[in-house]
Structure 1
Amino acid sequence: MSTVLIIGVGDVGQQLALGLAAGGRVRRLVLAGRSPAVVGETAAMVASASDCLVEPVRLDALRQDDVAELLDRTRPDVVVQCAALQGPWALAGRIGPRTQGVLAAGLGLRLPYQLPVILNVMKAVRDAGWTGPVANLSFPDVTGPVLQRLGLAPTLGLGNAGMVLLRARAALRAARPESDLSLIRVLAQHAQVLDVMQSRKPADPGDRCRIFLGEEGLRDDACAYRAPALAPGPRYNPVTVAAALPVLEALLPGGAPLRWSTPAPNGLPGGYPVRIADGSVALDLPPGLDLAEAVAFNERVGQGDGVERIDKDGTVHFTEACRAAVEAFAPDLAEPLAVDDLARRAARLDEVLAREG
């Protein structure tokens, strides 16, 4: 039986813990977070609802030595990184012009909230000499490629492309209940997920997710947009969890092989079809799709998140549309973002958003 370490016990972290415990293949869950009260209550809830051993740990994941020590002490089989300085729904419901400008710029502008914890976790993984799989939930389509430039890429990301897979499967199941839905392969970016979840099919076919059915990879891109519409918000979290749990169970020792779609396998930009077996992850591209084409597609549609390109040293450059969205009140927010400038840029974002009006 396996040990899983979950870093970050917000809503998704809690749901993942409950799902893993209920699945019966995890003997021990280590739940780590900054708030002793939240971690303790989550551990009590999971332990009460399952036969899993649950260990609550107070952890500031920005303290690299503390993360490395926790890895060394617990020796998990899989690490699940769910923490961020600010969640992606933190600005939901705020209507001020600065907030709206930051939202319009794309999630890439808020990379200073999403990157620091997973960056620190991966540094701790390196320092601890830990070689197991790391699954990252924090904006993996972009944080993965940044970390790949630094030699610190997690094994893969969670959500996003897997969510698109589930939406396509739901639409196909409703239309053709007798269909074989055993293999759906998805090429998609985080920037496309909102349209998929709201059933808004882009007018330009080139901007749609690519959906490949069966071994032969028959294209049915439109099926990603045919499931019932779901308005944005934390209600997406159960879909994120449903997309993540099969991946995590496949990564466990002795896990059954899985063909799925995930963000950022080995630090690639965007999401791809993968095969997971024996704790390793390999691409599972359909016939006729080569890696260069797949990467180019994800880099192009990923500009919808405001990211134009990522340099070899991990510096992120933002798109013209992103820069235009904040030009009137904080143009410096869209200047190129270096990895060693994350703390200062996060503080600047805090300042700008606090001065709403």
Structure 2
Amino acid sequence: MTDPHIAVVGSGSLARSVCYSLAALASPAPATPIRVTVLARGSAASDIAGVCQIRAAVTGGGVTFAAESLHDEVDAMARLQPDVLVCCASAQSPYERTTAPSAWTSLIARAGFGATLPLQATLIVRLARAVAQASPRTLVVNGCFPDVVNPLLTALKAPVTCGIGNVSTLAACLQAAIGLPDQDHLAVLGHHVHLSAPGHPDDEALAWYEGQPLPDVTGLLRAARAMDRRELNGIAGHAAARLLLALVTGAEVRTSLPGPLGLPGGYPVTVADGSVTLRLPPGVTRADAVAWNLRVGRDDGVEVVDGRVSHSPRAIDALAPYLPELAAGWPVAALDEVTERLTELRQRLRLAPAASVVAPGTGAT
């Protein structure tokens, strides 16, 4: 039997947070040492692995870190055969609107973050397909817009166990806000959209403690929502590390996760023996929870239902002047073509200032 092995794809703030927390949470040394391989392009992977190896040594952890440059996903999965693969990298940064504003980021602001779905999905789809082909026992965990990307993966018949971040971050913030030692009796229904306060109180995330509705979720989340979004990655990564360790060791953890079992949005779950099951509060059925997540998630501008990607009226209005045939929706099988079209549009709009977004009905220039 080989040591439990986690592969982390990416070198951005979420990937770093996950790895830093793995170095700390696996201490003191577990009975079975845990291996972590950081997969990224360039020197970033070795930098992250080096820092984490030192951190693990300082805290006395039983986790070791290695680095590889990611070029061929199938080859990497065939060689590494990780127990868990977690993807923390995508083709579109959520922070571009602040780091490099342009007509592209203005378009996304009008359409909703969901308009970037193909760019969020392209790498994790390749990785999931590589797992299916070369390492089918590997559990796939997605950190890139899992509330909608995971249903897309399922529609493509690509493997995915669950996501990280989003509702997991919200659950951690609620746990801290009410002073709980764990989330064993805390259940949260929440979507990516709930990282910000909803426009209407009826659309707020839902939470239960010991089976009873938790009052004033908005107030409890106010301080966390006021943080810089990148700071929340520190919370998301820490919660993700705990999840990953549970998946590779078989430990039981009760928490809330985005996209479990390929479902849209986020749900309370139990993680045990390397699997994830829903842990819904009394009176809430799976159908109820899915329908609620689809409804509130429309504020992101996109949903995946019955093998088709659909956009909200807001997203359609924003995208139609540029990509009218895609704005009306597209089958999941067209992902590669849609990604290419959207990438071409992004390249063009990035050259224009942020104010240069076509208003609905005026036509694209």
- TM-score bracket, shorter-length normalisation: 0.7 to 0.9
Shift of 1:100: 2.3
Shift of 1:99: 2.4
Correspondence for 2:12 among 6, 10, 13: 10
After the TM superposition, which of the residue ranges 224-233 and 157-166 deviates more from structure 2? 224-233
1:322 lines up with 2:315 in the alignment: yes
Correspondence for 1:204 among 201, 204, 208: 201
Correspondence for 1:55 among 51, 54, 66: 66
Shift of 1:111: 1.2
Contact kept in structure 2, 1:306 and 1:321, CA below 8 Å: yes
Q: Flag the 1:243–1:95 CA change in 2: closer, same or farther, 3 A.
A: same
Separation in 2 of the partners of 1:133 and 1:155?
6
1:235 lines up with 2:231 in the alignment: yes
* Structure 2 length-normalised TM: 0.85
1:312 lines up with 2:306 in the alignment: yes
Partner of 1:213: 209
Contact kept in structure 1, 2:81 and 2:135, CA below 8 Å: no
Partner of 2:359: none
Separation in 2 of the partners of 1:144 and 1:221?
30
1:288 lines up with 2:283 in the alignment: yes
Give the paired residue count: 336
Contact kept in structure 2, 1:333 and 1:348, CA below 8 Å: no
1:40 lines up with 2:51 in the alignment: no
Separation in 2 of the partners of 1:273 and 1:181?
9
Structure 1 counterpart SS, 2:160: coil
Separation in 2 of the partners of 1:330 and 1:339?
14
Partner of 1:270: 265
Shift of 1:153: 3.7
The root-mean-square deviation of aligned C-alpha atoms, in Å, is 2.3
1:78 lines up with 2:78 in the alignment: no
What does 1:179-198 correspond to in 2, within 5 Å? 182-195=184-197
What does 1:127-206 correspond to in 2, within 5 Å? 127-173=133-179, 182-195=184-197, 202-205=199-202
Separation in 1 of the partners of 2:135 and 2:102?
46
Q: Flag the 1:327–1:73 CA change in 2: closer, same or farther, 3 A.
A: closer
Separation in 2 of the partners of 1:332 and 1:98?
18
Contact kept in structure 1, 2:188 and 2:205, CA below 8 Å: yes
What does 1:238-257 correspond to in 2, within 5 Å? 238-254=234-250, 256-257=251-252
C-alpha distance after superposition, 1:41-88 (max 9, x if no partner): 11211122214332211113xxxxx22222221221211111101221
Contact kept in structure 2, 1:106 and 1:305, CA below 8 Å: yes
After the TM superposition, which of the residue ranges 76-85 and 339-348 deviates more from structure 2? 339-348
Separation in 2 of the partners of 1:146 and 1:112?
10
* Structure 1 length-normalised TM: 0.87
Shift of 1:346: 2.0
Partner of 2:38: 31
Q: Flag the 1:180–1:140 CA change in 2: closer, same or farther, 3 A.
A: closer
Contact kept in structure 2, 1:2 and 1:252, CA below 8 Å: yes
Partner of 1:198: none
1:122 lines up with 2:124 in the alignment: no
Counterpart of 1:240, as a letter, is: A
Contact kept in structure 2, 1:160 and 1:190, CA below 8 Å: yes
Counterpart of 1:348, as a letter, is: L
Q: Flag the 1:346–1:96 CA change in 2: closer, same or farther, 3 A.
A: closer
Separation in 2 of the partners of 1:202 and 1:220?
20
After the TM superposition, which of the residue ranges 229-238 and 90-99 deviates more from structure 2? 90-99
Separation in 2 of the partners of 1:117 and 1:93?
22
Shift of 1:116: 0.4
Partner of 2:327: 334
C-alpha distance after superposition, 1:175-227 (max 9, x if no partner): xx8x98642101111112222xxxxx65432x11110111xx10025235424
Shift of 1:19: 1.1
Separation in 2 of the partners of 1:180 and 1:10?
28
Separation in 1 of the partners of 2:50 and 2:326?
41
Shift of 1:304: 0.7
Counterpart of 1:257, as a letter, is: E
Contact kept in structure 2, 1:141 and 1:271, CA below 8 Å: yes
Partner of 1:347: 344
Q: Flag the 1:296–1:350 CA change in 2: closer, same or farther, 3 A.
A: same
Contact kept in structure 2, 1:171 and 1:224, CA below 8 Å: no
Shift of 1:93: 4.8
Shift of 1:23: 2.1
Identity level (%): 30
For structure 1, which runs of at least 5 residues remain unmatched after alignment?
A: 61-65, 196-200
Shift of 1:353: 2.7
Shift of 1:236: 1.7
